[in-house]
Structure 1
Amino acid sequence: MTDLVPIRRALISVSDKTGLKDLAAMLAANGVALISTGGTARALRDMGHEVRDVSDLTGSPEMMDGRVKTLHPAVHGGLLALRDHPDHVAAMKAHGIDAIDLLVVNLYPFEATVASGAVGADCIENIDIGGPAMIRAAAKNHAHVVVLTDPEDYPALRDEIAAHDGATGLAFRRRAAMDAFGRTASYDAAVASWMADRLEDAAPRNRIAGGTRVSTLRYGENPHQRAALYRSSQGGVVGADLIQGKELSYNNVADADAALALAAEFRDGPPACVIVKHANPCGVAQADTLTEAYGRAFDCDRTSAFGGIVAVNRPLDADTARAMAGIFTEVVIAPDADDAARAVFAERKNLRLMLTGALPDPRRPALAMRQVSGGWLVQDADTAALDPAALRIVSRTQPTEAQMADLLFAWTVAKHVKSNAIVYARDAATVGIGAGQMSRVDSTRIAARKAADMAEALGLSASPAEGSVVASDAFFPFPDGLLAAAGAGARAVIQPGGSVRDAEVIAVADEAGIAMVFTGQRHFRH
């Protein structure tokens, strides 16, 4: 297999003209002949370069609004021919085909077109055909051809050519081919997913996920695990701007995503703050001001908040920033931050500040995917909102208006707590959270104990769980969990219902004078 291959002819066809001027100048300085199409050819000529049109190369004009222009043996033969294979060389000579040593193509902006909200016809017109075909041809023949699909790769090509006197090495071409196949796979995944969405097909025969690497990470959940971050759509944690602080770790990204998802649930409500530790909320509150919301969320579990991730639903101000900077915090994520808040955080060099712009839409349909041995589990993301009209009060005791507001707040939080999930709340703030236990009664007791611990830490005369409400992400299978909540001082409960022992659980609630509301909706989060 050939190692160093000189670049004598290059075919360039790019929708994204970023870096084209410097690339073309570098190639021209190395005596590389340029071939191009349509708008790229015009741009290169405007830069003063000699360019041969693909239509001149093929002897066929571009047709059908540019849909057909590069699908021709003169192009694909030049890309696919094995230069060290006598039959291929003979075929090239017989048919007047010249070798193409470099292909630079970036595809029609299909993903960006979809993200812009364009209608079906516009999206279809931005499905590239000739581009992927050329990319795959060049990548397959990387023994002889180098292919680039991203302007970010142009400097590396420049350095490679400079190091090898106008040629590229096999190692460089192999890596470029890997990136090229990854790009076409990701592109096709975007098209297939878009079509599945249009057809409202939740389970297409082939499910493909694609993304573009944003960064490699120092390691994964643990130092012995390799990791990287990929972008598959706009916005969210991946699209947030890191204003200050060192690069995020794998765990930082996972926790920040959990915090942002819960903060987004409150994006249209009063100022709200979410504190997350190990992907579970450890404090959530709404209040009249962001500073108050942070303080009340912090007071739910000050121990767990240390080294946590904080997300808010409003732009940050200096007072809130000072409160957050009072303890060690890994990441703060917000829609924005004023100059005074940024100045406060700037004094904490290790604190990472991420700004998202608009918060994600918590009701936007999305997919949740989890790898399992031998395949993937795919489901709709849990974007369901509770319909207040579907609530059923099943107890003799009726919840007060204030209790109902707290029940709905606690239910929203419980949706984002790992199962089995129990959330005690009072006055729009969590006061105890139990997460991830094998037994629901254990989660109930842990949450109550956390509330009692905070009472002691804050010097309160009684546990904040006294007079609270409780949300459970799934039904109580036995009365023991309800009895534990009642023993902690809870006076109202919201749960899905649906247990064969519902009548027994309701009877215990009635005996204890507890209001109970059924949602008919479950929120397991494994």
Structure 2
Amino acid sequence: MKNALISVSDKTGIVEFAQGLITQGYSIISTGGTYKKLQDNGIDVTEIDEVTGFPEILDGRVKTLHPKVHAGLLAKRSDPKHMETLKKMNIETIDLVCVNLYPFKETISKENIDLASAIEQIDIGGPSMLRSASKNFASVYVVTDQNDYASVLEEIADGNDDSQLEFRQRLAAKAFRHTAEYDGIISNYLTDISGETFPESKTIPLEFKQSLRYGENSHQSAAFYKNSMPTAYSIASAEQLHGKELSFNNIRDADAAIRIVSDFDTPAVVALKHMNPCGIGTDQEDIYTAWQKAYEADTMSIFGGIVVVNREVDERIANEMHKIFLEIVIAPSFSEKALEILESKKNIRLLTLDFSKAKEADKFDYTSVLGGLLVQERDTVVDSIDDFEVVTEKQPTDEEIKALLFGQKVVKHVKSNAIVIATTDMTLGVGAGQMNRIGSAKIAIEQAENTFKDNPKTPFIMASDAFFPMDDCVEFAATHGVTAIIQPGGSIHDKDSIDMANKYGISMVCTGRRHFKH
């Protein structure tokens, strides 16, 4: 008779699994609530203290931490000395362990959970049994996932030793992944409440979300993993209402777009292509007006782009969106009529997201490099007028200050070297990712001039993510209608740029803070 030890928090399907094991010739051993569940359902089951000869103590904290359990799991069946030891000590082998762990993640996900309550949900015996069983997978089945119950029973019934060994090895690997994720969640929780920012080691628990058709390019395989501790304001948590699955590039672009819109409290629309905003519009009250501004900012680049709207998409906006090709639209909600209009397009993806959770988004960014991972705090700083130092003879007007603040919000989300031309409530031109700053300035100003030549916007400001290493950007801006500039300052050639601004009679503000985005 083989022995199976079953101790689960989530008891879904466990009665049927235990009955299947009995049919395959297993004797069932169990603990606490699982024992009662099986017994109440007519399963012939032995309580753990009958095996160990030792009662559960300390409110169940100690019940399976016993030599008769771990020796029964760890003994090498092929080693005569091991088996002789078991015989002398009257210890039976345990040939299958079925354990899912205390619901620590679920507990700390609840509001107002105190530390003492969280600690009580740290499983000790469960991970110990899983590790013992997994180490001895040559002889022991280790089951952590109810989705595996049927395949375990099928494999046992098959009786093929070679396939069973390979199968047990896969189960063991899964069990170690399970305990690693579990320990990672616990360690991160305790690290966070201890206030450590960059500890000596870091574990990032992730759960598989979906396979992707390919990565950035069709010859690259890819998958999407989400945080084991769900992040409400993330693409991983968005609900897709319509359209085909998101691609690798869709996910990255969508992530960039929701990061941008989270900086805006008033109605705002962000249109994005290839990780850079191509148009951003805001309004104090009306989301449709914000949409019009975002669209007008760059009617060409928005084609095939991603749009994020931080208010409900209504019928008016949906009608305008329907006229162009968009890959993705993300909003807190869609009106019934808007959904009807947009869902008439087969391939557009429509997603909803809880925008009220934007301030609770991940605090850190992770960037992979060969052989390691860069970890940094997210750039969530929104500069204010208190950060400004006017360094020119001309003071910016009130309207220019509003435009400078808006441009500064946008420029930190544009790939460096970044230049943004803007007015008070919309982008006019975006220059991104050039190898020199004057290149970005020329792109942004040319776009603004071409798009708005028949309807010039005032004020007409420039925002730069970093200082000007020389005065060429300032002169180019001034000679093309820019009336005010915001930049961090800090170059050894700051005076040259200030003098150039004074020469042309434009204002310049320095913030003392750069916003590189690589």
Aligned length, in residue pairs: 513
**Aligned residue for 2:91?**
97
2:281 maps to which of 276, 282, 285: 285
**Aligned residue for 1:524?**
516
Distance 2:128 2:301 in 1: 53
**Aligned residue for 1:241?**
239
Instruction: Please give the per-residue CA displacement for 1:359-390, whole angstroms capped at 9, x wherever unaligned.
Output: 44347562222222222222222222324423
Q: State the superposition RMSD in angstroms.
A: 2.5
**Is the contact between residue 12 and residue 35 of structure 1 (CA under 8 Å) also seen in structure 2?**
yes
1:145 maps to which of 140, 144, 153: 140
| Cα distance change, pair 401–166 in 1 and its aligned pair in 2 (3 A) | farther
**Aligned residue for 1:461?**
454
**Aligned residue for 1:4?**
none
2:497 maps to which of 476, 499, 505: 505
1:402 maps to which of 376, 380, 399: 399
Distance 2:367 2:225 in 1: 15
Q: How do 1:37-436 residues align onto structure 2 when only pairs under 5 Å count?
A: 37-117=31-111, 118-161=113-156, 169-232=164-227, 233-234=229-230, 235=232, 236-266=234-264, 269-287=265-283, 288-362=285-359, 366-436=363-433
Structure 2: where are the runs of 5+ without partners? none
Distance 2:19 2:336 in 1: 42
| Cα distance change, pair 218–164 in 1 and its aligned pair in 2 (3 A) | farther
How far apart are 1:168 and its partner, in Å? 7.1
**Is the contact between residue 417 and residue 432 of structure 2 (CA under 8 Å) also seen in structure 1?**
yes
> Secondary structure at the residue paired with 1:207?
coil
2:441 maps to which of 444, 456, 479: 444
**Is the contact between residue 241 and residue 356 of structure 1 (CA under 8 Å) also seen in structure 2?**
yes
| Cα distance change, pair 506–387 in 1 and its aligned pair in 2 (3 A) | same
**Aligned residue for 1:479?**
471
Instruction: Please give the per-residue CA displacement for 1:181-232, whole angstroms capped at 9, x wherever unaligned.
Output: 1122222222222333233322211122221111121111112222111121
Distance 2:11 2:375 in 1: 37
Instruction: Please give the per-residue CA displacement for 1:248-299, whole angstroms capped at 9, x wherever unaligned.
Output: 1111111111111111222xx2211111211111111112332332222122
How far apart are 1:430 and its partner, in Å? 0.9
Instruction: Please give the per-residue CA displacement for 1:37-66, whole angstroms capped at 9, x wherever unaligned.
Output: 222222233333232222222222222222
Instruction: Please give the per-residue CA displacement for 1:20-46, whole angstroms capped at 9, x wherever unaligned.
Output: 344345445545432222222222333
**Is the contact between residue 273 and residue 284 of structure 1 (CA under 8 Å) also seen in structure 2?**
yes
Opposite residue 347 of structure 1, the aligned amino acid is: S
How far apart are 1:110 and its partner, in Å? 2.5
**Is the contact between residue 256 and residue 309 of structure 1 (CA under 8 Å) also seen in structure 2?**
yes
Distance 1:164 1:522 in 2: 66
Opposite residue 481 of structure 2, the aligned amino acid is: G
**Is the contact between residue 404 and residue 424 of structure 2 (CA under 8 Å) also seen in structure 1?**
no
| Cα distance change, pair 229–451 in 1 and its aligned pair in 2 (3 A) | same
| Cα distance change, pair 26–350 in 1 and its aligned pair in 2 (3 A) | farther
Q: How much identity, in percent, do the aligned residues show?
A: 44
**Is the contact between residue 240 and residue 349 of structure 2 (CA under 8 Å) also seen in structure 1?**
yes
> Secondary structure at the residue paired with 1:379?
strand
Distance 1:90 1:318 in 2: 78
Distance 2:327 2:151 in 1: 34
Opposite residue 243 of structure 2, the aligned amino acid is: G
Instruction: Please give the per-residue CA displacement for 1:163-186, whole angstroms capped at 9, x wherever unaligned.
Output: 559997233222222222112222
| Cα distance change, pair 327–146 in 1 and its aligned pair in 2 (3 A) | farther
How far apart are 1:468 and its partner, in Å? 1.6
Distance 1:389 1:363 in 2: 25
> Secondary structure at the residue paired with 1:410?
helix
> Secondary structure at the residue paired with 2:479?
helix
How far apart are 1:519 and its partner, in Å? 1.9
Opposite residue 88 of structure 2, the aligned amino acid is: A
**Is the contact between residue 213 and residue 229 of structure 1 (CA under 8 Å) also seen in structure 2?**
yes
**Is the contact between residue 284 and residue 429 of structure 1 (CA under 8 Å) also seen in structure 2?**
yes
Distance 2:23 2:322 in 1: 54
**Aligned residue for 1:492?**
484
| Cα distance change, pair 502–351 in 1 and its aligned pair in 2 (3 A) | same
